[in-house]
Amino acid sequence: MSFERTKTTYELEQVLLISERLKDDIDLRRVVTDLEIYENLDKPYLTAEMSVIDQTGFFEQTGIIGGERVEIDIVSLSEGGPNVTISKKFYVVKCDKRSVNDDAQLVIFNLIEDIGFISKLYNVNRAVSGKPGKILNTIAKEFFERSVVEIGSEIQRFEAIIPNMNPLDAMRWISRRAATSEGYPHYLYSTLVSDNSLYFNDLGRLLLEPVINPDQKFSNTQASLDNPLNKTIVSHLFEDNKTLLEFISRGLIGSQYEYIDTTQETTRKFSFNVIKDFLGPLVEAGILSEQENVEFSELYKVKEKSFNERPSRYITRIGGTNSNRDFFVDEDNNHTWTNSLYESKDAAGYKAQVIQQVMDTLLKKSPATFVMDGSNFISGDRHLTVGCNIAVEFTKTNPDRDFSIDQIDTRRSGNYLIFACRHMFKKEKYEVSLGCMKLGDLKRND
């Protein structure tokens, strides 16, 4: 049965269900009603959910048990674009069926990208050494025949033993330890539009990348409909998951740290100040050049002392013993040290680990979700979602009658980093739901 599809900005060129238990591959392209594909900076694989109308009883006939493969080819039909075919391979995790009527049922496939499934079949228990990016690349090539594109600037070189993990869990474990000298965390992620490579990038470089829509901002006004590509935000949601009180309680605003070397009976002590160690360096690096009013103010004081200058928590941790420390000159003639995975050679290194955790937490404090036309993001020639920046402009809810006053809502407007993307391919349209974060508000013109 062919499910009639209205004219959309995309086409499913192929949706094949493949299994060694089947005599022939099954083409599901004409009976797919909805396809949703998920990207996330925190995940090195894609996930998906696909809905299929079954009027022939193929679900019972095939006896799907999970582990079947689904190959999907998608092409954009947008005018003026290169419209390159996007090909992805998934494995079936599970299937659910729901009755539609006496003659049909809806089958919902939960899918995971092939590397996410294959990874569960392997166990890694070995010693590794080197820079995080090169370790990740070695594991990816060995188990998945894929490469890791290193964009970040991690500085560590360490030795570690991967303790009985599957390859992707091991790669995530290592990538979370990687940090720049400034403390920027790294992310290992997979994308829908790619050559099947994984990407390894640090937050500093991600935030410094130019926005993908410099000529026209994504807006909540209908005026953007006049543009060949629809730049209108269909719907939006702003959240505030964490409070300043919670951050103070966790020592993320001001705190004192002590790392103990139990073999030498020595300690490394340092203080953390969210302005001096996190927000100030972001301003100096130019990351907050267009945005102000970040998620904290030094104007908040108790007894004439700013919150960030008060160590709300004293945190003691067991540091490394330097058992694997070695001086090393790499292939670029850079002089560095080899340490254990959670070890640093001095207090500055341990502070970078703390800053890494704070950056990731504060970035996700107030997420925003924007739903808009997907044709802006799927030409197929380059990646335009997770890890990219977009410029967003909102007008004030109650605009001033004096039109000489700026009508832009500086709180909600600004440059956002896309942290997650939900591609929603429906029979009548294609939209994306973007999970975004930003560190400050747009600068006022007054």
Q: Compute the distance between CA of residue 204 and CA of residue 286 in angstroms, rounded to an integer.
A: 10
Q: Compute the distance between CA of residue 33 and CA of residue 13 in angstroms, rounded to an integer.
A: 14
pLDDT along the chain (446 residues), means of 10: 56 94 90 96 97 87 91 85 88 89 89 98 93 92 94 72 95 88 88 91 90 90 52 88 85 90 80 89 74 74 93 85 53 55 71 84 86 86 92 79 64 92 93 90 61
Query: Who contacts 257 (Cβ-Cβ below 8 Å, separation ≥6)?
Result: 269, 270, 271, 272, 315, 316, 317, 350, 351, 354
Check if the beta carbon of residue 76 is closer than 8 Å to that of residue 9.
yes
Check if the beta carbon of residue 34 is closer than 8 Å to that of residue 426.
yes
Residue 11 is encoded by which pair of tokens?
Answer: 């086409």
Q: Compute the distance between CA of residue 425 and CA of residue 430 in angstroms, rounded to an integer.
A: 5
Q: Compute the distance between CA of residue 321 and CA of residue 262 in angstroms, rounded to an integer.
A: 7
pLDDT, residue 100, reads 75
Total length of the chain: 446
Q: Compute the distance between CA of residue 192 and CA of residue 37 in angstroms, rounded to an integer.
A: 8
Order the strands of the 313-318 sheet from edge to edge.
266-273, 254-261, 313-318
pLDDT, residue 224, reads 45
Q: Compute the distance between CA of residue 97 and CA of residue 106 in angstroms, rounded to an integer.
A: 5
SS (H, E, C) 72-104: EEEEECCCCCCCCCEEEEEEEEEEEEEEEECCE
The domains of the chain, with CATH numbers, are 10-114 (2.40.10.10), 122-201 (3.55.50), 209-239+366-446 (no CATH), 244-363 (no CATH)
Alpha-carbon torsion, ordered 281, 287, 291, 297, to 10 deg: -20
pLDDT, residue 196, reads 86
Q: Compute the distance between CA of residue 256 and CA of residue 254 in angstroms, rounded to an integer.
A: 7
Q: Compute the distance between CA of residue 229 and CA of residue 250 in angstroms, rounded to an integer.
A: 44
Residue 4 is encoded by which pair of tokens?
Answer: 């009639």
